[in-house]
């Protein structure tokens, strides 16, 4: 079984890869926006799960970004500034992956998703890395 530190690092590593995938896809003139948005949602989810692990807070399997932020608020109210914006990513977890619910985000929406995921990344990494305020 992984130690707490190893688990946090695993969540962050996976989140970093999702964000890198989104960044790569955004570099193309014909980016696949649903892929960008999906990876941004996944990155945000994993950064938040790393932070919850850091805070010693349990969580269930969920793709609801707002729910994860709410759990973090139990120990860090400062994260609430990200909640409304971060929850925009939730729909990119499932709806864009299946034809019944499928929609294609615009290029602007994909760029916004990338910005939101990066804000979550910055917040979380500033809290859990050495010298952070967590």
The whole-number pLDDT of residue 96 equals: 64
Domain ranges in the chain are: 4-128
| Tens digits of residue pLDDT in 63-112 | 899 999 999 999 999 999 999 999 999 988 876 666 666 678 999 999 99
131: left (phi over 0), alpha (psi -120 to 50) or beta: left
Tokens of 117: 């995921």
Domain at 4-128: CATH code: 1.20.120.330
Tokens of 129: 């890395």
């Amino acid at each position: 079984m992984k130690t707490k530190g190893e688990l946090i690092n695993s969540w962050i590593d996976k989140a970093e890869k999702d964000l890198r995938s989104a960044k790569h896809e955004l570099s193309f003139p014909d980016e696949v926006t649903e892929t960008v948005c999906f990876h941004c949602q996944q990155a945000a989810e994993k950064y938040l799960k790393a932070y919850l692990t850091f805070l010693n807070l349990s969580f269930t399997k969920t793709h609801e970004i707002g729910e994860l932020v709410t759990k973090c608020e139990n120990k860090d109210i400062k994260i609430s500034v990200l909640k409304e914006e971060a929850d925009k990513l939730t729909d990119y977890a499932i709806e864009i992956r299946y034809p019944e619910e499928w929609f294609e985000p615009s290029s602007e929406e994909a760029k916004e998703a990338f910005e939101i995921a990066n804000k979550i990344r910055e917040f979380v990494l500033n809290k859990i890395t050495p010298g952070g305020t967590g």
